[in-house]
Amino acid sequence: MKTYLSCALFCLSFSAIPAHATSIELGGFLKANARYVDGNIAFQDSWAGGGQVAPSAKRTQFSAQESRFNVRLNHEQILGFAEIDFVGSAQGNPIISNSYAPRLRHAFIQYQGFTAGQTWSTLVNTSSFAETADLGGPLVGQAMLRQAQFRFSTTHWQFALENPYTYGTTRPDNQGQTQWIDTSNDYLPDTIIRYNQTGDWGNVSVSALIRYLDPDGSRQWGGGLSVGAKLFTLGRDDLRLQLHYGNLGRYVGTDAARDIIEGEIETSLSGMFAYRHFWTERSRSTFFFGRTTTQVEQTDRHHWGINLFTDLTPALSVGIELGRYEIEDATRDAAAPRPRGASNYAQLSMQLSL
């Protein structure tokens, strides 16, 4: 359900200007989670491609921080949209209030094919996201990045200049130490060109990314290709896919791949699939799998899960999900073997859509 408000905004000036109506739509959802993790990859609110191998432990955490609120403004041919949630906040603690600070997810303006502001990267095909209890599902194998950009869209094509940022480490110094890259020289926007095709069968998008990475004067060009799709199968069932290859770095896998490793540009191969089956009009299950491997750092991260969701009412759904997240990075130095690990999880979620 959506809540609609209408109001009249009046422009005051020395000359008479007619009032223009703006419609305001409020949306979002309230979400409650109960999450249990058992294994030697340290507990995370959701599996995001990173993680530390640690002594085996069991942990349960209840949370409502994924709840989000948004506002949509429609004024003649202009659309404005802003959204916040509370994920990732370190403001509160379980001792007193469990409070969380709001964070900005989206804030953008659309006008006659132009989009300006912060929203999903043009590389991201949101229709290919799996329905999951774990936030984002197989993040380790998919593009799920929001950032500031300027984009122009037609029926099938999108052209965007997006915020440049180099995520990675420098070459080792004389003592063999590496540092996080200084981003002072990130001055050329990332360029993305995307083609979309839709039909009764679903949709597919193909994107190309071109980047110029100039940390410490290294001056490296990078590029990559990305495919995302949602395909209808039997009845109401659907298959969702993503496949990515190239110098995509932070664009794919969330924290599974970096842009540059010890001064060398990274190349990654990532993929995910999710099949959703409807058992009844109100109940459905999704099985999903995501994986990212990298050439330079030689990481290998993957995540699978299966769930069951039921709509108790048109606005209220409840779901349970079981899954496993694994780190199987290759050892680059025989003298320093890299730890491997895995954690199993179970998550119960209830969501009220506004």
Tell me the C-alpha to C-alpha distance, in Å, between residue 48 and each of 22, 154, 226, 292: 38, 32, 19, 11
Is the Cα torsion angle 114, 120, 122, 124 positive or negative in sign?
negative
Q: Tell how far CA 74 is from the center of its chain.
A: 26
- What residues contact residue 19 under an 8 Å CB cut-off, 6+ apart? 8, 9, 10, 11
List the structure tokens of 129: 């996201």
User: Is the pLDDT at 9 greater than 70, yes or no?
Assistant: no
List, in sequence order, every residue forming a beta bridge with 343; answer none if it has no partner. Answer: 39, 325
Instruction: Tell me the pLDDT tens digit for each residue of 196-212.
Output: 999 999 999 999 999 99
**What pLDDT does residue 253 have?**
87
pLDDT band with cut points at 50, 70 and 90 for residue 183? confident
User: Is the pLDDT at 12 greater than 60, yes or no?
Assistant: no
pLDDT band with cut points at 50, 70 and 90 for residue 174? confident
User: Is the pLDDT at 2 greater than 60, yes or no?
Assistant: no
**What pLDDT does residue 216 have?**
66
Whether 143 and 245 have beta carbons less than 8 Å apart is answered as no
User: Is the pLDDT at 14 greater than 90, yes or no?
Assistant: no
- Check residue 142 and report its DSSP letter: S
pLDDT band with cut points at 50, 70 and 90 for residue 1? very low
Instruction: Say how many CA atoms lie within 13 Å of 183 toward its Cβ.
Output: 11
Whether 39 and 326 have beta carbons less than 8 Å apart is answered as no
- What residues contact residue 209 under an 8 Å CB cut-off, 6+ apart? 123, 190, 191, 192, 222, 223, 224, 225, 226, 246, 247, 248, 251
List the structure tokens of 315: 């606005």
Instruction: Tell me the pLDDT tens digit for each residue of 218-249.
Output: 778 999 999 999 999 999 999 999 999 999 99
Query: What is the C-alpha to C-alpha distance for residues 327 and 109, in angstroms, rounded to an integer?
Result: 40
Instruction: Tell me the pLDDT tens digit for each residue of 43-76.
Output: 989 999 888 899 999 999 999 999 999 999 999 8
Percent of the chain scoring above 90 in pLDDT: 73
Whether 84 and 107 have beta carbons less than 8 Å apart is answered as no
User: Is the pLDDT at 10 greater than 50, yes or no?
Assistant: no
Whether 120 and 145 have beta carbons less than 8 Å apart is answered as yes
> Quick one: average pLDDT of 34-38?
97
Query: What is the C-alpha to C-alpha distance for residues 126 and 268, in angstroms, rounded to an integer?
Result: 21
The long-range contacts involving 179-184, CB below 8 angstroms and separated by at least 24 positions, are 181/215, 181/216, 181/259, 181/260, 182/215, 182/216, 183/215
Q: What angle do CA 70, 312, 286 make, to 5 degrees?
A: 80
Q: What are the φ/ψ torsions at residue 224 (nearest 5 degrees)?
A: -165, 165
**What pLDDT does residue 7 have?**
44
Q: Who wins on pLDDT, 147 or 99?
A: 147
What's the pTM value of the predicted model, to 2 decimals?
Answer: 0.89
**Residue 91, SS3 per DSSP:** coil
pLDDT band with cut points at 50, 70 and 90 for residue 334? low
Task: Kindly state the helix (H) or strand (E) to which residue 17 belongs, with its residue range.
Answer: none
**What pLDDT does residue 233 have?**
97
Query: What is the C-alpha to C-alpha distance for residues 354 and 67, in angstroms, rounded to an integer?
Result: 11
Q: Rounded mean pLDDT of the chain? A: 90
